[in-house]
A and B are shown apart, each in its own frame.
Chain A
């Protein structure tokens, strides 16, 4: 169980790393927000899941630790709804404000 928890957390950190690279390296606002929205949500969920399993292992699977796990699952649910919606709202506002899409240079002319 603890190996699974560590694997989940490390995978989450890997996706966080991808998010930060994406925010720094991608060419325009929309693709950066896309990197921030998608990978960030996934990595948060993975890390919280890993923490839940770790706590379960640490507390020797008693009833109270399942209670904590249920709370963490509720947090996962809110992150799953909230984070992509926030990204969508920012993208929507950007498109309403007229932020240009990025194009490859040869298509631009």
Chain B
């Protein structure tokens, strides 16, 4: 933690947050919000939380911005909410002041940064840090906590991504073209430079994403980050060519199939443990069916399987959400 860099990025974050609320042009607001996410990523890196920084960079600054831009593309660009609502604004200001002062009052009770005696560091996390290698043979404790010790949490996080995709798909997907087309006129991208450049980038992106998924035990990364990068590579394909080209690789049926398959892989590994005589998601019993593994390596291998499931769900749902949002649910053409 470098104090100067931390202070600078926190000040810039505050400026970005205020600016994002203040700007009336929503497109500008989204861009500022992307900058905000990137600065958060810098703060996480300064605090040595590289896994979180990775996720923030991929989701917040990358895919999230694309989602917001494609939503604005299909709705309205200018914020008209704040007209003639002085009384409401005053009330909200009052509420914010009261709640903020209560929160500020409690700041003095919080433990210091990195305090070893803080409640968060005295219960289970000490056990995780000390026994991760002995229990699971995984040096990156974040992955072992995420996928093994707290496997239930991560399974339902994956389910949240799944449900978000299903909700967006069910709300937006439509087959009929409305009589009055509200979307702005579509100009297809027809630039050789963009196509060649994306052709050069996409294979490396996907290779890197697979590395992030598979190497998540040893270095920062894992299913969520790798899945988002894979999804981003597909989104890049859909942006730089058109939807037809992207849907050739992964069409609508496969999208729905894979998004469910990812959750199924995760829950399926848990259920297999169940049948082998252990608890749900107790990976150590998998050594009975995995060849040449003891109970420790079985936990490590099962984590990889679980990460693959997470990556599959996240990749396909990011891609599907983008297709739905940017084409207003028609899945024919978008940004």
Interface positions of A (Cβ within 8 A of B): 78, 81-82, 85, 88-89, 92, 96
Once the chains bind, are A88 and B187 in contact (CB under 8 Å)?
A: no
Contact B191 A88 (CB under 8 A): yes
**Assembled-state Cα–Cα distance A78/B197 (Å):** 10
Q: Is the CB–CB distance between A82 and B191 below 8 Å?
A: no
B205's closest neighbor in chain A, by CB?
Answer: A78
The contact sample of 12 A-B pairs, CB cut-off 8 A, is: A78-B201, A78-B204, A82-B197, A82-B201, A85-B194, A88-B194, A89-B189, A89-B191, A89-B194, A92-B189, A92-B191, A92-B194
Complex contacts, B189 vs chain A, CB 8 Å: 89, 92
A residues less than 8 Å from B201 (CB atoms): 78, 81-82
Q: How far in angstroms is the closest Cβ of chain B from A48?
A: 17
Tell me the complex Cα distance, A96–B193, Å.
16
- Chain B residues with Cβ below 8 Å from A82 are 197, 201
Residue pair A85, B197 in contact (C-beta under 8 Å) = yes
Residues in B with CB closer than 8 Å to A92 are 189, 191, 194
How many pairs of residues, A versus B, come closer than 8 Å at their CB atoms? 21
**6 nearest A-B residue pairs (beta carbon):** A85-B197, A96-B187, A88-B193, A81-B197, A89-B194, A92-B191
Q: In the bound complex, what is the Cα–Cα distance between A99 and B290 (angstroms)?
A: 62
Bound Cα distance from A78 to B194, whole angstroms: 14
Which residues of the partner chain B approach A78 to less than 8 Å between Cβ atoms?
Answer: 201, 204
Report the minimal beta-carbon distance from B231 to chain A, rounded to whole angstroms.
Answer: 18
Question: In the assembled complex, how far is the CB of residue B134 from the closest CB belonging to chain A, in whole angstroms?
Answer: 27
Q: Which chain B residues lie closer than 8 Å to A89 at the CB level?
A: 189, 191, 194
Smallest CB separation, A41 vs chain B (Å): 13
Question: Interface majority SS on B: helix, strand, loop or mixed?
Answer: helix
A85 to B192, CA, bound (A): 10
Report B185 CB to chain A, min CB distance, Å: 10
The reply on B200 being an interface residue by CB < 8 A is yes
Q: Which residues of B contact A81 (CB under 8 A)?
A: 197, 200-201
Residues from chain B with a CB closer than 8 A to the CB of A85 are 193-194, 197-198
Which chain B residue shows the least CB distance to A97? B187
Contact partners of B197 in chain A: CB under 8 A: 81-82, 85
- A96 neighbours in B (Cβ, 8 Å): 187
User: Can you name 5 extra interface pairs (CB under 8 A) apart from A88-B193, A89-B189, A92-B194?
Assistant: A78-B204, A81-B197, A82-B197, A88-B194, A92-B191
Cα distance A85–B200 in the bound complex, in angstroms: 11
- Least Cβ distance of B188 to chain A in Å? 10
Complex interface: chain A residues within 8 A of B200 (CB): 81
Nearest opposing residue in chain A for B204, CB measure: A78
Measured between alpha carbons, how far is A92 from B198 in the docked complex, in Å?
16
Interface residues in B150-205 by Cβ distance below 8 A to A read: 187, 189, 191, 193-194, 197-198, 200-201, 204
Q: What's the minimum C-beta distance from A37 to chain B, rounded to whole angstroms?
A: 12
Chain B contacts for A88, CB-based, 8 A: 191, 193-194
**How far is A88 from B191 in the complex, measured between Cα atoms in Å?**
9
Which residue of chain A has the shortest Cβ distance to B187 in the bound complex?
A: A96
In the bound complex, how far is the Cα of B189 from the Cα of A85, in angstroms? 13
Q: What A residues does B191 contact at CB under 8 A?
A: 88-89, 92
**How distant is the Cα of A100 from the Cα of B191 in the complex, in angstroms?**
20
Interface centre among A82, A89, A96 (most CB of B within 10 A): A89
B239 to chain A, nearest CB (A): 9
When C-beta atoms are compared, the residue in chain A nearest to B188 turns out to be A96
**Distance (whole angstroms) from the CB of B212 to the closest CB of chain A:** 14
Q: How far is the CA of A89 from the CA of B189 in the complex (A)?
A: 9
CB of A73 to closest CB in B, whole Å: 13
A78 and B189 alpha carbons, distance in the complex (Å): 22
Give the complex CA separation of A89 and B198 in angstroms: 12
CB distance from A64 to the nearest CB of B (A): 14
Nearest CB on A from B261, distance (A): 31
